[in-house]
Structure 1
Amino acid sequence: MNVTFFNTKQYDQQFFTQVNEEHGHELQFLEVPLNAHTAVLAKGADAVCVFVNDRVDAEVLHQLAHAGVRLLALRCAGYNNVDLSAAALLGLPVVRVPAYSPYAVAEHALALILTLNRKTHRAYNRVREGNFALNGLMGFDLHGRTVGLIGLGTIGLVTARILKGFGCRVLGYDVKDSAEAQKIGVEFTTLDSLYAQADIISLHCPLTPQTHHLINEAAIAKMKAGVMLINTSRGAIIDTKAVIQGLKSEKIKYLGLDVYEEEGDLFFEDCSNKVIQDDVFMRLLSFNNVLITGHQAFFTSDALHNIAQITLQNISDFEQGRVLTNAVPLPAATASR
């Protein structure tokens, strides 16, 4: 199939080209993101492959369908950027990569926790300047601390296993029961109970209407004073302005983010020679107890190879008329044409 990739970097081209030797598709890589202005570039493509920050709303989907695109392939797990109702009306299947490397994201969440706790990022800069003073670098033992995980899917379960290895007590909340989580030793509880008990809260849930701004002013008020908050899932699960108030009041003592609700104009790009116009994001950066990485939790060689393999297999399955095991369910009420 002819596949047009939007929003690609050098590493995307490298891994997809390597894996495509097994599939034999014709790949076209574009650096521009997909939106209403660039959708015309998909003309002649059988399938379009997009990433988390591409805009795939109704207008874009209509343009893609008009251009002859027959499949939308996401090279990521989340699909909150896709208008699924419009895709259903157009009869345009949507496939994704539901799990590429849960270890990559879980391990990055732990990296944020450890860095914030032991302040290794600050210590690194001090030592480079010849400053070996320890004042301001004190951390705490993770062993014996209580960590609350919101979301116990594949990534949440891997995170739980790692935390249990550190000797943490792990609380968990999810809309579904998990026998595997119970085997690991996760204590299921309510959100309110998790907020009240957890020294560290790590988010591992998808972005849905129910989880949008789940961490808001009311939720923060229920948390322990001095809590550490970690988000490696989706930015809009956190109400950023409410979290800033939590930081100012010192209710939140540590904040680690790999995602940000308005990251679309920032992440994956070099903005070092620009004036960043997002005042909320710049306010976050002003806190010395906030650590932000640019949506890199997924970024390991293992994960990128798996993403390429699963994405191209999804496309091959569609081409050969096989069952699309990684299809995103489309709204039933609007799926008929």
Structure 2
Amino acid sequence: MAGIAFFSARPYERTFFDRENSGHSLNYLDAPLDEKTARLAAGSSVVCAFVNDHLDRLTMQILKENGIGLIALRCAGFNNVDLKAAAELGLPVVRVPAYSPYAVAEHTLALLLTLCRKTHRAFNRVREGNFSLDGLMGFDIHGKTVGVLGTGKIGAIFSRIMLGMGCRVLAYDLRPDTALEQAGVLYVDIDRLFAESDIISLHTPLLPQTQHIINATTLAKMKKGVVILNTSRGALLDTKAVVRALKSEHIGGLAIDVYEQEEGLFFQDLSGRILQDDTIARLLTFPNVLVTAHQAFFTDTAMQQIAQTTLRNIDDWQAGKPLINLVPG
């Protein structure tokens, strides 16, 4: 069986991987993966990496020199991997393309409901004995126009949730989903989506053409008071442009589970330290901004599926079977 070096390993992950493991040697490492830590994988044949690990050419050269034959991502995204270098080094890269898309879609809804009804503020206020309603005015989601950017599995589920809540749903995707169209989703060009939506939710992968798709220019096309949700990838937002739009009150609300500079912040307890990232610190000062720390995927169902798919990818590689979740180089 394979020796697997898990980088950026967290205690909650170990529970699920230990439960699903069928004989592999699992070496859990707290350290993130980069060129400085890659040699810790020596003695293993597989590296298992997460969203904020660095898999650039130098890192993978070191992994290759230390006997690594497979990069197994325990996540869907692969923008942190130099795929060209991996192919040239003969290192196949596999991923977990889907794990409970309902988890992410439902968390997006939770963020929207919390933001629009201010339940987080009400919870803290009541615990202090303050039962006043001042400052807690919300808005109805029913009847709003919701723009969904990207209608893959997660975006499609979120679209159906919004339809069920009585919303008009506009969508933009290079590959329209006919089943969604039949359900009542209207596919439009991206400028129309920006112009007509009261709420915009991002469900597109991070690619060169989607990086900073929300920027000063596209924000100017949106309604004053627009609510923006991002549970996909942090760099879809130009965060500095978003901060300016929040200050001018052009954005009426922002809820994010991802952040373009989240490395070194998310998945850690920094409560006893001073935040060095001025942008996230500024975001946290806005009363109409809600931030969660990349937890949209974090349900027991999703974690079980991540562990099962990751280990099955490794089993297939070791057995010489076709890698159905191979990321093309």
| 1:83-162 equivalence runs, <5 A | 83-162=82-161
1:121 & 1:143 partners in 2: Cα distance?
Answer: 21
| 1:1-337 equivalence runs, <5 A | 1-20=2-21, 23-330=22-329
What are the superposed Cα offsets for residues 262-308 of structure 1, whole Å, 9 maximum, x if unpaired? 00010000001111111111111110100000000000000000000
Q: Which amino acid aligns with 2:5?
A: T
Q: Any conservation in 2 of the 1:80–1:208 contact (CA below 8 Å)?
A: yes
Q: Which amino acid aligns with 2:17?
A: F
Shifted more, 173-182 versus 79-88: the winner is: 173-182
Runs of 5+ unmatched residues, structure 2: none
In the alignment, what sits opposite 1:334? none
Secondary structure of the residue aligned to 2:311 is helix
Q: Any conservation in 2 of the 1:4–1:28 contact (CA below 8 Å)?
A: yes
Shift of the alpha carbon at 1:159? Answer: 0.5
In the alignment, what sits opposite 1:333? none
1:39 & 1:180 partners in 2: Cα distance?
Answer: 45
Q: Which amino acid aligns with 2:9?
A: T
What are the superposed Cα offsets for residues 43-95 of structure 1, whole Å, 9 maximum, x if unpaired? 11110000000011111010001111000000000000000010010011000
User: CA RMSD, aligned part only?
Assistant: 0.7
Shift of the alpha carbon at 1:184? Answer: 2.5
Shift of the alpha carbon at 1:183? Answer: 2.6
1:98 & 1:8 partners in 2: Cα distance?
Answer: 19
Shift of the alpha carbon at 1:125? Answer: 0.9
Q: Any conservation in 2 of the 1:258–1:296 contact (CA below 8 Å)?
A: yes
Shift of the alpha carbon at 1:129? Answer: 1.1
What are the superposed Cα offsets for residues 227-267 of structure 1, whole Å, 9 maximum, x if unpaired? 00000000000000000011011110100000000000100
Q: Any conservation in 2 of the 1:7–1:34 contact (CA below 8 Å)?
A: yes
Secondary structure of the residue aligned to 1:88 is helix
2:164 & 2:251 partners in 1: Cα distance?
Answer: 25
Query: TM-score normalized by structure 2?
Result: 0.99
Secondary structure of the residue aligned to 1:172 is strand
1:252 & 1:299 partners in 2: Cα distance?
Answer: 28
Secondary structure of the residue aligned to 1:45 is coil
Structure 1 runs (4+) greater than 4 angstroms displaced: none
2:141 & 2:225 partners in 1: Cα distance?
Answer: 14
What are the superposed Cα offsets for residues 155-212 of structure 1, whole Å, 9 maximum, x if unpaired? 0001011111111111100121222221332100011100111000000000000000
Shifted more, 23-32 versus 144-153: the winner is: 23-32
2:242 & 2:159 partners in 1: Cα distance?
Answer: 24
Q: Any conservation in 2 of the 1:171–1:189 contact (CA below 8 Å)?
A: yes
2:179 & 2:261 partners in 1: Cα distance?
Answer: 34
Q: Which amino acid aligns with 2:122?
A: A
Q: Which amino acid aligns with 1:96?
A: R
1:89 & 1:71 partners in 2: Cα distance?
Answer: 13
What are the superposed Cα offsets for residues 88-110 of structure 1, whole Å, 9 maximum, x if unpaired? 10011000000001000000000
1:180 & 1:48 partners in 2: Cα distance?
Answer: 38
Q: Any conservation in 2 of the 1:5–1:30 contact (CA below 8 Å)?
A: yes
1:180 & 1:91 partners in 2: Cα distance?
Answer: 39
Q: Which amino acid aligns with 2:253?
A: Y
Shift of the alpha carbon at 1:127? Answer: 0.5
